């Protein structure tokens, strides 16, 4: 059984009597341990798909099974629980809480999980060690660079040991070099056996992932647009610039 199973999922918005199908009858399986990217032009519905996959939103039609749990009709409370335990999010704008310092930010998901103080601190430190930020524990997010902030966000996403990590344009707000470091981190996570799903419109990033899902007009495209997926570069013998994860 796949980790994520989507069956005939649609998301329909009603805008002034007009019906807009942001997602139109999508069926999709993602296996545990897969490293895949969701690509597509803006407005294609890839963000909507990620929100639904990430249990941030519920589909209008269809069913979703995440790790064997039916989440399409789950209550808000159950969804919150699923997000907390099974999913880690990394956002384009980092979304760290500005009033909390680095450790407190990383501890936040564990607070919602009801984990006690000392274990929380220990696990937060471990996660921060992984992203190599143990020297900035007491800093506020505003005192960190973009790359550092995104690493804190990754540590936060990892800290509850989730099955899936979703990243929405994780390098979108970073310069190329920092973006590569972040991407290397995701690759490393994938190699450690985690399921990582990147949402991006950056072909260079899509090129890194073994599997690419292209969304076009709310449907999964039959054939991946090679230019969008960065495949044209691979074909031209121009490997995606990516430092090996160490």
Partner 1 sequence: MNLFNTIFIGFKEIWSHKFRSLLTMFGVVLGVASLVGMSAIIKGMENGMRESMVAMGGADKVVIQNQSVPAHQDHLADQAPGKTMRDVMALQASAPLIRLVSPEMEVEDVAITRGQKMTQPTECVGVWPAVLEMNLHTLEHGRFFNDMDDANASPVCVIGTGIRDDLFGRPEAVGREIIPLGEQILINGQPFTIIGMFQHYMGEQEAKERELAKLAKPQDPSQAGPKRQRGWGRHGGWAFQRKNMTVYMPLNTAWIRFRAAGDKDGILDPRLTDIDIKVLNVERLEASLQQARNVLLQSHRGIEDFTFQTQENQLETISKQIKNARLSGGIIAGISLLVGGIGIMNIMLASINERVREIGTCKALGATGLDVFVQILVESVVLALLGAVAGVAASYLLVDVLALLSPTSNSPVITPMAMAVGVGFSALVGISAGLIPAIKAANLQPIQALRYE
| Contacts of residue 192, Cβ cutoff 8 Å, sequence gap at least 6 | none
The reply to whether 113 sits near partner 1 by the rule CB under 8 A is: yes
The reply to whether 114 sits near partner 1 by the rule CB under 8 A is: yes
Nearer to partner 1 (CB atom), residue 89 or residue 186: 89
- For the CB of residue 124, give the shortest distance to partner 1 in the complex, in Å: 13
- For the CB of residue 89, give the shortest distance to partner 1 in the complex, in Å: 5
Instruction: Kindly tell me which residue out of 83, 151, 194, 212 binds partner 1, with binding defined by CB under 8 A.
Output: 83
Given a contact cutoff of 8 angstroms between Cβ atoms, the answer to whether 98 and 142 are in contact is yes
Given a contact cutoff of 8 angstroms between Cβ atoms, the answer to whether 39 and 16 are in contact is no
Nearer to partner 1 (CB atom), residue 61 or residue 112: 112
- For the CB of residue 116, give the shortest distance to partner 1 in the complex, in Å: 9
| Contacts of residue 232, Cβ cutoff 8 Å, sequence gap at least 6 | 203, 226
Instruction: Kindly tell me which residue out of 2, 61, 74, 100 binds partner 1, with binding defined by CB under 8 A.
Output: 100
Q: Which ranges constitute the DSSP H helices of the chain?
A: 46-53, 76-86, 102-113, 117-130, 146-158, 176-191, 203-208, 226-229, 231-235
The reply to whether 77 sits near partner 1 by the rule CB under 8 A is: yes
In degrees, rounded to 5, the angle at the alpha carbon of residue 144 between the alpha carbons of residues 140 and 150 is 105
* Residue 112 neighbours by CB distance under 10 Å: 14
- For the CB of residue 61, give the shortest distance to partner 1 in the complex, in Å: 18
Residues that bind partner 1 (CB under 8 A): 51, 54, 56-57, 76-77, 80-81, 83-85, 89, 91, 95-100, 108-109, 111-114, 156, 160
């Amino acid at each position: 059984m796949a980790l994520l199973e989507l069956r005939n999922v649609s998301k329909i918005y009603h805008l002034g009597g007009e019906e807009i199908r942001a997602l139109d009858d999508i069926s999709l399986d993602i296996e545990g341990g897969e490293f895949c990217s969701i690509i597509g032009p803006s407005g294609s519905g890839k963000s909507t798909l990620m929100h639904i996959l990430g249990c941030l939103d519920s589909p209008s039609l269809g069913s979703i099974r995440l790790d064997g749990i039916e989440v399409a009709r789950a209550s808000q409370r159950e969804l919150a629980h699923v997000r907390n335990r099974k999913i880690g999010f990394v956002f384009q704008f980092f979304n760290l809480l500005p009033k909390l310092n680095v450790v407190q930010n990383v501890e936040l998901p564990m607070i919602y999980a009801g984990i006690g103080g000392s274990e929380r601190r220990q696990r937060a430190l471990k996660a921060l060690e992984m992203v190599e930020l143990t020297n900035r524990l007491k800093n506020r997010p505003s005192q960190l660079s973009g790359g550092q902030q995104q690493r804190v966000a990754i540590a936060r996403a990892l800290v509850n040991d989730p099955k899936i990590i979703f990243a929405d344009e994780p390098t979108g707000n970073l310069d190329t070099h920092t973006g590569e470091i972040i991407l290397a981190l995701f690759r490393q996570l994938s190699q450690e056996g985690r399921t990582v799903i990147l949402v991006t419109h950056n072909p260079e990033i899509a090129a890194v992932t073994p599997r690419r899902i292209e969304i076009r007009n709310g449907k999964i495209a039959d054939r991946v647009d090679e230019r969008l997926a960065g495949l044209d570069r691979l074909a031209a013998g121009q490997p995606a610039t990516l430092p090996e994860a160490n």
